[in-house]
Amino acid sequence: MASALLHLPIIDLASTDRLSTANSIRQACTEHGFFYLINHGVEEELLNRVFDESKKFFSLPLEEKMRLARREHRGYTPLYAEKLDPSLGNKGKMIDNAKEREGLYYVEGDSKESFYIGPLGSISSYSDLNQWPSEEALPSWRSIMETYYEGVMAAGKRLMSLISLALNLDEDFFEKIGAFNQPMPLLRLLHYPGELGLSDEEIYGASAHSDYGMITILATDGIAGLQICREKSKQPQVWEDVHHVKRAFIVNIGDLTERWTNCLFRSTLHRVMPTGQERYSIAFFLDPNPDCVVECLKSCCSDLNPPRFPPIRSGDYLKERFRLTYGS
């Protein structure tokens, strides 16, 4: 079931009343785990160019895209290669017959294709594992993606300082514990095809999941399909539509932040349902330094509300979640 309308809070990143904004973020994160972010500093013209370049890449022949096949979570992921809800099973689906001879199978998963871009040299000194389309095929592609990546990263760090205030912490708390000392953000371009083949199973653009890291900053092209389920454990699940707000990002809390906050801030289930229309989106996953230890914040626990999760390295947690997602 999906409701006709879901009213998410709107957070203004440019507001000068930081305490009031932090209080609004706290309410949004405890009640929804999702909110809209406006005045984030990323120009609409740049965002439009990113969507245009994304469409150009996904329109390339499959053989050309597969030359940039995902390695170390960088590069191209084809249709059906990922299943975000592992409980739906893990059957093999061939991309083409040639793969059978090579022994390469993909999860029969979600109906989307994607492209990952990891930390840039300006953000991190980790080895640059990114793969890029040839300049001959897409001459402006890399520079536009890098400019967007840096813009959203800056917005994300500003937002995390407000989230710190929302948790009754110092504004620079996450910087002080090393979360942004060589962080590992991932930019992911996503394409959901409009026409899907016949199947005996229900097809998802993205099956039900919560995001893995700190926060996700999402841009969409206005096509419907995104839904959230605010109560993970309730049955039957109630799904609500998230509507497009022009020039606003959609932000949601990830699992690491839920662990940090002892479940005070929600890491909300969400999914993308096919609508018969082609759909593009751009997700920026703000993940901390892999060695950053995620443990319950003192402001989020007490004798009556002890920590629910043991401390864990960010990198170890994310590695296991990716292993489950890709079935290997």
pLDDT tens-digit readout, 137-177:
999 999 999 999 999 999 999 999 999 999 999 999 999 99
d(C-alpha 295, C-alpha 179), whole Å: 12
% of the chain beyond a pLDDT of 90:
72
> How confident is the model at residue 322, as a pLDDT?
83
pLDDT tens-digit readout, 278-302:
999 999 999 999 999 999 999 999 9
Q: What is the CATH number of domain 2-326?
A: 2.60.120.330
**What are 322-327's contacts with CB under 8 Å, separation 24+?**
322/73, 322/212, 324/86, 325/82, 325/83, 325/84, 325/86, 326/81, 326/82, 326/107, 327/83, 327/86, 327/90, 327/107
d(C-alpha 206, C-alpha 8), whole Å: 21
pLDDT tens-digit readout, 21-53:
999 999 999 999 999 999 999 999 999 999 999
Query: In terms of Cα–Cα distance, which of 87, 68, 82, 146 is closest to 113?
Result: 82
Query: In terms of Cα–Cα distance, which of 191, 210, 186, 218 is closest to 77?
Result: 191
Q: What's the pLDDT band for 3 if we cut at 50, 70, 90?
A: very low
> How confident is the model at residue 197, as a pLDDT?
55
> How confident is the model at residue 328, as a pLDDT?
47
pLDDT tens-digit readout, 74-117:
999 999 887 777 666 544 444 444 443 343 444 467 899 999 99
pLDDT (average), residues 242-268 = 95
Q: Which of 90-99, 207-216, 251-260 has the lowest mean pLDDT?
A: 90-99
